[in-house]
Structure 1
Amino acid sequence: MMLGKVKLFVFCITMLLQFSCGDPKGDSFSEKIDKATLQQMAIGQDVQLIDVRTPMEYKLGYIGDAINFDINNQEQFLEQITLLDKEKPVYLYCKMGGRSNRAAELMKDKGFKKIYDYSGGYQDWISE
């Protein structure tokens, strides 16, 4: 009888910790993806593909139908992302993965549900 109460107590504590320490934004996530995954999931698809490099870098070349939201201008970036649908997946990339990671964290904090970060970046994209 005592063992049953202990098991119930442990179960209740486990559940309490799970729910109290969970992600406050619910089902949002940020996932690193590679070149093949980006090609399959975003290129030629109707998705939110965001290049977070500078406008000068963007002018030199970009991936697919990407639009440019410069993460280095954080105030403008935060304003621009309000134009996006938080419920739809967002695909991010930069030159090599650092800035897109920062952008993913900001977007997650702002309530975006599904964020895919192409960690290889444009540098990886243009390499053969």
Structure 2
Amino acid sequence: MKYPVILLLSFLLNLSCAQTQTPSSKPINSITADEMKNVVLLDVRTPEEYAQGHLDNSLNINWFDADFAQQVEGIDKNETIYVYCKVGGRSAKAQEKLKSLGYKNVVNLEGGYDAWSLKHPR
């Protein structure tokens, strides 16, 4: 009886330590061109960063703008939104803000534009 209990506890401990990717985030380099056509691409970098390069058809709303919440009001809350920044920090914060504002399908693109531009040089 002792060994099955130890085995079960070991399994549960191992399972709890396993890394899982949340459905609300995905690596930026895993998105396809077809996927990008069917979502709102939201770039939350500064206008200067955006001008240096961005994903085609993306909307630029600066995370640092005091009226960020008001600017995103133009996006339908039922749309799927893929949000990205330079490396992933601002987009994660923006994702949480969007969720708190009632947006249902917000995906943080991990790695940000830096990762994208390494794999897709212009």
After TM superposition, is the score higher than 0.5? Answer: yes
- The superposition leaves residues 74-120 of structure 1 with CA deviations (integer Å, 9 ceiling, x where unpaired) of x3211111000001111100000000000000000000001011011
Matches within 5 A, 1:86-97: 86-97=77-88
TM-score normalised by L of structure 1: 0.70
Q: How many corresponding residue pairs?
A: 98
1:34 aligns with 2:38: no
- The superposition leaves residues 41-69 of structure 1 with CA deviations (integer Å, 9 ceiling, x where unpaired) of 633x1421100000000000001210100
Q: How far off its partner does 1:40 sit?
A: 5.0
Q: Runs ≥4 in structure 1, deviation > 4 angstroms? A: none
Please name the residue that 1:71 is paired with: 63
AA at the equivalent of 2:104: K
AA at the equivalent of 1:61: G
Q: How far off its partner does 1:121 sit?
A: 0.2
TM-score normalised by L of structure 2: 0.74
Change beyond 3 A, Cα 1:30–1:101? farther
Uncovered stretches (5+) of structure 1, i.e. residues with no partner:
1-28
Q: Percent of aligned pairs with the same residue?
A: 33
Once residues 94 and 83 of structure 1 are traced to their aligned partners in structure 2, the CA distance between those partners, rounded to angstroms, is: 19
Once residues 30 and 114 of structure 2 are traced to their aligned partners in structure 1, the CA distance between those partners, rounded to angstroms, is: 16
Please name the residue that 2:91 is paired with: 100
Uncovered stretches (5+) of structure 2, i.e. residues with no partner:
1-21
